Amino acid sequence: MNEFPQLQAVQQLGRTYRSLMAAFDQQLGMPMPRWRILICLYQDGCVSQKQLVRHLRIDPAAVTRQLKGIESLGLIERFTDEQDNRLTNVRLSAAGRELVEATLPRRRRLVETMLQDFSDQDLEQLIALLTTWERSLSRAVDADPS
């Protein structure tokens, strides 16, 4: 029996996450962080980089790096906000919209394949467990280390 089931759970989550990222990249032809930004823009239209950071819960510097790479592929357009020149807005280009629309069926198939062995009850339980864990992690991050 494992002396540290908590450590085993953390290690399994890490392995599962790496497998998820690899499957996503292989099946969709792009890394998940890029897809998350593209699908957010597809669903929300034009948004500021600050809104992307809040919505996706990604470090601002990481968002900027991702956006630079996506922009170099011609999939997005970035521009200064007309009302507030401190903000940079982002929207999909026509090529970005076409890519997202072409990728949506592959994403649907991937998600269905990934979760085919789970019942609806299993999925509800998994979501509840992960949500609880996320709240615990948030408390740990917010806790005073002293």
**Percent of the chain whose pLDDT exceeds 90:** 79
From the number of C-beta atoms within 10 Å of its C-beta (0-12, 13-18, 19+), residue 135 rates as: exposed
pLDDT at 131 > cutoff 60 = yes
- The CA distance from 139 to 134, in Å, is 9
Question: Phi, psi (5° rounding) for residue 144?
Answer: -75, 120
What angle (nearest 5°) sits at the alpha carbon of residue 88, between those of residues 87 and 91?
135
Q: What is the mean pLDDT of residues 126-139?
A: 91
Give the integer Cα–Cα distance in Å for 70 and 53: 15
Band of the pLDDT at 5, cuts 50, 70, 90?
confident
> At 27, is the secondary structure helix, strand, or coil?
helix
| pLDDT tens readout for residues 44-73 | 999 999 999 999 989 999 999 999 999 999
Order of strands across the sheet that contains 47-48? 47-48, 88-92, 76-80
Give the span between the Cα atoms of 43 and 110, in whole angstroms.
19
Does the pLDDT at position 1 exceed 60? no
Q: What pLDDT is recorded for position 2?
A: 63
Q: Give the pLDDT confidence score for residue 53 in this predicted structure.
A: 94
Mean pLDDT of 136-141: 84
Query: pLDDT averaged over the chain?
Result: 92
The residue behind tokens 């998994």 is 126
Cβ-based neighbours of 28, under 8 Å, separated by 6 or more: 35, 103, 106, 107, 110
pLDDT band at 145 (very low <50, low <70, confident <90, very high): low
Instruction: Check whether 8 has a pLDDT greater than 80.
Output: yes
